[in-house]
Amino acid sequence: MSRKKTLTRALLFLLTIPVLLFVFMPVAWLVISSISTKAELLSIPIHWIPQHPTLSNYTNILTPGTATSEVAKSFKVVMRNSFLVATSVTALCLLVGSLAAYALARIRFPFRKGLLLGILGTRMIPEVSLVIPLYIIATRLKLYDTPWILIATYLSFALPFAIWIIASFFESVPVEMEEAALMDGCSRLRILFNIVIPISAPGLVSTAIFIFLMSWDEFFYALIFTSTIAAKTMPVAIAEFVGRYSTDITAMMAGGVFAALPPVLLSLIFQRYIVTGMTAGAVKG
């Protein structure tokens, strides 16, 4: 009996290998490419392990010399912009979203159903379509090429999403506690901040991470609404390594690793919360 069990366990372990390979191989190649020289990257047969590994692709981006492309020189600023926009959007979504989510989840009021449907509906339109109208607003308000316009436009897809997810977390808070507090004459605001939010804190952390990753990831709006390092974000900077005729492939690889590090690290550190977040609304109770 235990032999069969050992066999099963061995088989299962073997099965994990292709999955791990599938997950890691592309990323490993990205990292390997980022520490290779251009000559090695363009060699046939392929150099799986670089013979002359180098960190120069990274140093070019972090401490650019005169030979580095203009794009690489501004990378640090660009990362900072990405952080600024992502954290602002996250903070706003959490604050405004929690308020709205609580009302939608717990309080019965007129238009509640319509509002829920409406909020869901706004997510349906493809982002590509909203660019021109948003651009018009941006230029009217003189917000073009500022982090503010990115924050505002990201809210268009992040806020509905945040409300939806936070609402489902709030719904799983035992309603009796709130009812008891209501009986005692607590205001809704107090209930929200003293009871509901503390209990669903892990869910809120999940949401925060999701929103942060969504903002960090966003590419097309950033491309259109920014043009200088005053507001440019990381995905746009990476795309710029592609020139008119030639691509700065090693810089792009190093840039890609940089761009991927914050979200990947964040996700690994808070993985428990991410899983919780993913299942919010998917599996009740």
Partner 1 sequence: MSTTPRHLQLSLRQRDARTALLFVAPAVIIILLVTLQPILTTLYLSFFESQLGRFSVNVFRGLGNYIDMLKSAVFWSTIRRTLHFTLFSVGLELVLGIAVAQLIASHPPGWKFLRTSLIIPWAVPTIVTGMMWGWIYNADYGALNGLLSQLGLIKEYVPWLIRPTRAMNLAILADVWHTVPFVALILQAALATLPQEMEEAAAVDGANAWQRFWLIRIPLLRPAIMVAMVIRTVEAFRVFDIIYVMTGGGPAFGTVTISYLTYLETFKYGHIGNGSALSFLISIFSFALALIYIRLLYRQEDSH
Partner 2 sequence: MSKKTTCVLAFLLVASVLLAACAPAAATTAPVAQGPVTVRILLMQQAGPTPDENNAIAAEFNKLNPDIQVVIDYVAYDALHDKIVTSMSANPPTYDAFLMDDGWYGEFQKAGYLLDVTDRITQVMKDGVFKSAWGVTTVGDKLYGLPYFLDTKYFFYNEELLKQAGFNEPPKTWEEMMNMAKVIKEKGIAEYPVVWSWAQREAAICDWVVLLTGNGGSMMDANGQPAFNNDKGVETLTWMVQSIDDGLSNPSSVTNIEDNVVSVMQQGKAVFALNWIYMENAVGFNETDSKVIGKIKIALMPVFASAAAAGLESTSINGSMGMSIAAQSQHPDETWAFIAYLASEDVMNRYSANLLPFWETSFTGDKLAALEALAPVNAVTVPAFLMQFPYAVTRPHLPYYQEASLALQLALQEALTHVKTPQQALDEAAAKWVELGK
* Binder of residue 39, out of partner 1, partner 2, none (CB less than 5 to 8 A by kind): partner 2
CB 39 within 8 A of CB 218: no
156: partner contacted, choices partner 1, partner 2, none (Cβ within 5-8 A by kind): partner 1
Shortest distance, position 172 Cβ to partner 2, whole Å? 30
Residue 219: contacted member of partner 1, partner 2, none (CB under 5 to 8 Å, by partner type): partner 1
The answer to whether 76 and 145 are in contact (CB under 8 A) is no
User: What is the length of the chain?
Assistant: 285
Partner interacting with residue 49 (select from partner 2, partner 1, none; CB below 5-8 Å by kind): none
- Shortest Å distance, C-beta 257 to partner 1: 8
Token code pair at residue 246? 């030639």
CB of residue 66 to partner 1, shortest distance in Å: 26
Contact 231, 244 (CB under 8 A): no
37 binds, among partner 1, partner 2, none (CB under 5 to 8 A by kind): partner 2
- Residue 247's beta-bridge partner residues? 242
Nearest-approach distance from CB 124 to partner 2, in angstroms: 17
Q: Which CB, 77 or 137, lies closer to partner 2? A: 137
Q: By C-beta, is 60 or 215 nearer to partner 1?
A: 215
DSSP calls for 120-167: HHHTTS-HHHHHHHHHHHHHHTT-TTSHHHHHHHHHHHHHHHHHHHHH
For 29, other C-beta atoms within 10 Å of its C-beta total 13
Distance of CA 213 to the CA centre of its chain: 1
Using CB under 8 A, list all residues that contact partner 2: 37-39, 42, 69-71, 110-111, 131-133, 135-140, 144-145, 223-224, 227-228, 236, 239-240, 242-247
